[in-house]
Amino acid sequence: MGFIVAMSRQIIFSIWVCVLLGACTFNSVPVIAQNDAVTAASLLQGGGLPLAVQHQRTPPSVQESEASDPAETQAQEEQAAEVAEEPPLLPFCPENVFDLAGQVAIQICQQIRSDPLPTRLKVRGQSLRSLKALVPFYAQRGYQPAWLDSRGQPSPLAEQLLAALDRAGEEGLSKADYSPVQLRALLVDLPADARMLSEYDLIFTDTFLTYGSHLLSGRFLPGKVDPDWTIKPRSRDLGEVLEGALVSGRVVDALLDLAPKNPGYTQLRGLLQQYRQIEKEGGWRTIARGSTLRRGSKGARVQALRARLRASGDLEEEGTTFDKAVTAAVRRFQKRHGLRVNGIVNVSTRKALNMPVAERIRQIELNLERWRWLPDGFGSRYILVNIPNFKMNVFEDGKPVFESKVVVGRKDRQTPTLNADMEYLVLSPKWYVPRSIAVKDKLPKLKRNPHALSRQGIKIYNSAGKQINPSSVNWKSVNAKNFKYYLRQDSGPRNALGGVKFMFPNPHSIYLHDTPSKRLFRRSQRTFSSGCVRVSRPLELAEYLLKDNRRWNRRKIKAAFKARKQQVVHLQEGLPVYLLYWTVWIDSDGVANFRKDIYKRDKPLLRAMRKIHRSGV
């Protein structure tokens, strides 16, 4: 009899696991775990955040029926809905146990094994934030407590968790978000009461899973605070990570192992500690308003300038005047802040110098969060465009081997963050004008002069694909709703894409390309495109990409740029392209760089961080 009961429980548990993962089907209808209905929004409202393992997880949709009878289709849909609404089966609670640990397991089970499964659970007034990982974690271990020894006393591993939380600030996270004071209070006077011990265990497990999720892939779903972010974050089974930490007795190491391994993240962590030390020492001085400061200037404002530059490490020499050393220090500061490098302290340079160190710290923390949204490695060779820096680099084995200035999207037509593989080049490309650009930019010109686009070599085609005479259309009656024309610009020197476009297929139809508007690369802030990325050195980039293709050399590529005949050249292997948005980073020379938040993407992320801090999670 005992064997039959055990086997029954094992079968039920196996069914529960596959149901929870959305992998089971009954009568060809996927069973959807009710937990999957928990959205990021509902978790945020409940004071919690989704775990990394949930980021990319979406419930499978009910398969479409092939039945042609509407009544039969409706009946199948109703049946599917009934099956989908059934909660997943969890293992039964322990029975006939008399030791304290067993009694605690029963209490844990009774709190998380409900019908339906809980989508929110408060323990001692605190909302658990990791239910979707916490429930299967306990179910797979038969609801046995994780943070108690055999006598029902707190395990030494609990102290390790608290020690790990003490280091949260080093990662740009706030340890206050994980309630360490309340956790330590639980350890001080924990009575031998099964219910209270179960609550203690649930809270510590929830804290590990939540902090682990934040280290692994950030505190926020990227798309919730940055709608243009399309790169998938890292994911791990955090329940497995916790189980491994409990077995090995290495809780701190298990958590640290979840943080990004990329050197860029590690370097930014170091910069954060440096700037926090500056803040601890009182920050830096501000430069009062006044006339432009330049070499030869003297007075109190120059003294303040020297002190400010010393605080950030841009100036080492002592002195009292705006001398050669100060000029070099100002130029250094301007370069690493993306300002015009002239060695003169004008209004824009003074504003950058006067930004409080606390704001720079927040900026560093925001960009550490963005790092947690990225994969651990970008590959041995890849292209990286940092949008706020207006630069593109090719990296090989972590080192930059090619650099080019770029023009990115206007503030109302922003270049999105994305990752895709470059597959081919189009030499001497035609430009098929996107409908949005045709309506917003070209139609107003046609209304003023039907032949305005002809001067740019742009031809107009009707919906049947036949070229038309621009004068044959009453453009004043055409609007965004009834615009049914196609615009194409042939290859040539006036073509908006120049001599080449570099293609990495993606949902946004974004690509890199040449441009006839070379003068724009002289600007320090280059937000002029409609979303695609214009490259200042397209010939050199094409030559680099085709260097292993014997059919191509610089002379042939240059000739193909001017051939006025479109030609597609496939790369021998795909090259990862990353369009990223960093307002703080450490460059290959170890220099800290800050950039203006050109698209105002830091602000929603900062608001979300402050919301968490205020909630007293």
Q: What is the pLDDT of residues 198-255, one digit of tens each?
A: 999 999 999 999 999 999 999 988 888 878 788 888 899 999 999 999 999 999 999 9
**For residues 475-487, average pLDDT:** 92
> According to the model, what pLDDT value does residue 498 have?
96
End-to-end CA distance of the chain: 47
Q: Which of 84-93, 398-407, 468-477 has the highest mean predicted lDDT (pLDDT)?
A: 398-407
CA distance 319 to 329: 13
Helices (H), 126-262: 131-140, 156-166, 180-188, 194-217, 222-225, 238-248, 251-256
Share of the chain above pLDDT 90, in %: 71
Residue 513: active-site member: yes
Q: Has residue 21 got a pLDDT over 80?
A: no
Reply yes or no on domain 266-362+602-615 having CATH 1.10.101.10: yes
pLDDT in the model for residue 607: 86
Strand runs labelled E in 153-206:
none
Compute the mean pLDDT over every residue in the chain, rounded to the nearest whole number: 85
In this predicted structure, the answer to whether residue 612 has a pLDDT above a threshold of 80 is no
Mean pLDDT, range 18-37, rounded to an integer? 34
Q: What is the reported pLDDT for 125?
A: 81
pLDDT of residue 217: 93
Q: Three-class SS of residue 536?
A: coil
* Highest-confidence segment of 71-80, 108-117, 229-238, 581-590: 581-590
pLDDT, greater one: 309 or 88: 309
Q: Is the pLDDT of residue 194 over 60?
A: yes
Please check whether residue 353 is in contact with residue 559, taking contact to mean a CB–CB distance below 8 angstroms. no
DSSP-derived secondary structure for 568-588: EEEEEEEEEEEEE--SEEE-T
Cite the residue boundaries of each domain of the chain with CATH code 1.10.101.10: 266-362+602-615
Write the single-letter amino acid at 109.
C
Q: What is the pLDDT of residues 360-404, one digit of tens each?
A: 999 999 999 999 999 988 999 999 999 999 999 999 999 999 999
Write the CA distances from 560 to 425, 489, 534, 557, integer angstroms.
11, 17, 19, 5
Q: Where in the chain is the domain with CATH 2.40.440.10?
A: 373-594
pLDDT of 3 reads 41
- Interatomic CA distance for residues 378 and 575, integer angstroms: 10
Q: What is the mean pLDDT of residues 39-44?
A: 30
pLDDT digits (tens, 9 = 90+) for 66-82: 333 333 333 333 333 33
Q: Which of 55, 109, 532, 570 is catalytic?
A: 532
Residue 85 has pLDDT above 50, yes or no: no
- Is it the case that residue 487 has pLDDT exceeding 50? yes
Whether 14 shows a pLDDT value over 50: the answer reads no
The per-residue pLDDT for 227 is 80
Average pLDDT over residues 285-312: 96
**Distance from C-alpha of 539 to C-alpha of 2, rounded to nearest angstrom:** 76
Q: How does 269-287 read in b/e, with b if 16+ C-beta sit within 10 Å?
A: bebbeebbebeeeeebbbb
What CATH class is the domain 373-594? mainly beta
Helix (H) or strand (E) run with residue 207 in it: helix 194-217
pLDDT given at position 77: 39
Write down the pLDDT at residue 115: 64
Kindly report, residue by residue over 299-342, the tens digit of the pLDDT.
999 999 999 999 999 999 889 999 999 999 999 999 999 999 99
**Which pLDDT score is estimated for 126?**
84
Mean pLDDT, range 503-515, rounded to an integer: 96
Min mean pLDDT across 91-95, 300-304, 458-462, 463-467 is at 91-95
Would residue 319 be called left, alpha or beta, if left means φ above 0 and alpha means ψ between -120 and 50 degrees? left
What does the pLDDT read at residue 92? 86
- Segment 481-507 shows an average pLDDT of 94
Question: Which residue(s) pair with 385 in the sheet?
Answer: 392, 579
Six token digits for residue 410: 């206007």
The answer on pLDDT for 416 being more than 50 is yes
43 has a pLDDT exceeding 60: no
CA distance 315 to 309: 5
> Of residues 214, 337, 513, 570, which has the active-site annotation?
513
613 — pLDDT class (breaks 50, 70, 90): low
Concerning whether 337 is annotated as a catalytic residue, the answer is: no
Among positive and negative, which fits the CA dihedral 240, 241, 247, 248? positive
Give me the pLDDT at residue 16, please.
45
